[in-house]
Chain A
Amino acid sequence: MADIAFLLLIFFLAATTMDSDTGLMRQLPAIPDPNVPQDVNKINDRNILEVKVNKDNLLLVEGQLTEFNQLREIAHDFILNENDEPNMPEKEVVNIPFFGNVAVTKAVISLQNDIGTKYGVYIAVQNELIAARAQLRDNLSRQEFGIPYEKLDEDRRGAIDDFFKVPISEAEPKRIGGDQ
């Protein structure tokens, strides 16, 4: 009996893996339909935080060479725009459940990379941007509901997401095509 059980045990040890996969969830934009006229309403320049990573893995934020470890703070301050500065994102009053009429930021983060950028750096940069947004959402959740964002129910989480929408968009690549 024990022999059979050992046999099965060894089989399962060999044929299975224990690691659970973790990763950054992203939604790709759909390919624009050429027959549908494109949205001509350009996003106001002050609302966009432009992040570029070049082939030498150097970081350019709003045209300024930036150290990687400053990125999170820059993104944080940009989204929040505490003092309503004119070169930082606009705010728009909208009605959100649980919050009522509140001024919500219209910030958008645009991430661009070069063909030669390393994937690891690209992910690290994206991670910082997501982290800055997640931090703001979590702070708001604690302040408003007294519990961390992770533990919120779906409705409340949706409300917080509406408050700090901040889409992180990936710019259309300059070179489109299948060949390498």
Chain B
Amino acid sequence: MAKFIKTGGKSVKALNTSSLPDIVFMILFFFMAVTTMRETEVMVTVRIPDATEGKVLEKKNLASFIYIGEPLEAFQALYGSEPKIQLNDSFKEIADIQDFIAQEREQLSEADKTKMLVVLKIDRDTKMGVVTDVKQALRRASALKIMYANSNVDKITTLY
């Protein structure tokens, strides 16, 4: 029966990891290519509405974002729970929109200034009063190209 008795230790050969950096770099480059930098920390709750006809925003560098919604719980003690407007990293009022647009426009190159787009990310439960005020402010600032951000669905089922 000697031929069934194992000779030597149970050593398993170590896995060859020399190609591991290549694989990880590959994943890294994949993520670098398909993702974009997070620019602002959103401080309001925004559940954007559903729609079927939304188009993809292609030139993100031409877009400025306006967020409207209830402040997050951490900010509610300070700002209350009524829908607020967020421009860049702080809560602002309607009157500040004109300055914000001027400032954003300044950052674009001369050729792109007319192509500027304002993306409105607004919570679906917001009342239109605020939205209309923002739209009027945008008209006064002559930022006329806007996009109502929505999530694309196949069919709108409920009207909440």
Contact = CB atoms under 8 A, between A and B. Distances in A.
A23 B151 CA distance: 7
Interface stretch (A11-19, A93-101, A156-164): A11-19
Interface residues of A, number: 53
A44 B34 CA distance: 50
B55 A23 contact: yes
Nearest to A17: B38
User: Size range of the interface on B?
Assistant: 35 or more
Nearest to A116: B127
Interface stretch (A25-33, A34-42, A77-85, A140-148): A25-33
Interface string A92-135: 00000000000000000000011111111111101110110010
B21 A1 contact: yes
B115 to A, nearest CB: 12
A119 to B, nearest CB: 4
Given A118-B160, A127-B52, A16 B37 contact: yes
Interface of B: 17, 20-21, 24-25, 27-28, 31-32, 34-38, 49-57, 60, 63, 93-95, 119-120, 122-133, 135-140, 142, 144-152, 156, 159-160
23 contacts: A1-B20, A1-B21, A9-B31, A12-B28, A20-B57, A21-B57, A21-B60, A22-B150, A23-B51, A23-B147, A23-B149, A24-B54, A24-B55, A29-B139, A115-B128, A118-B124, A118-B127, A120-B125, A120-B159, A122-B128, A128-B156, A173-B132, A180-B129
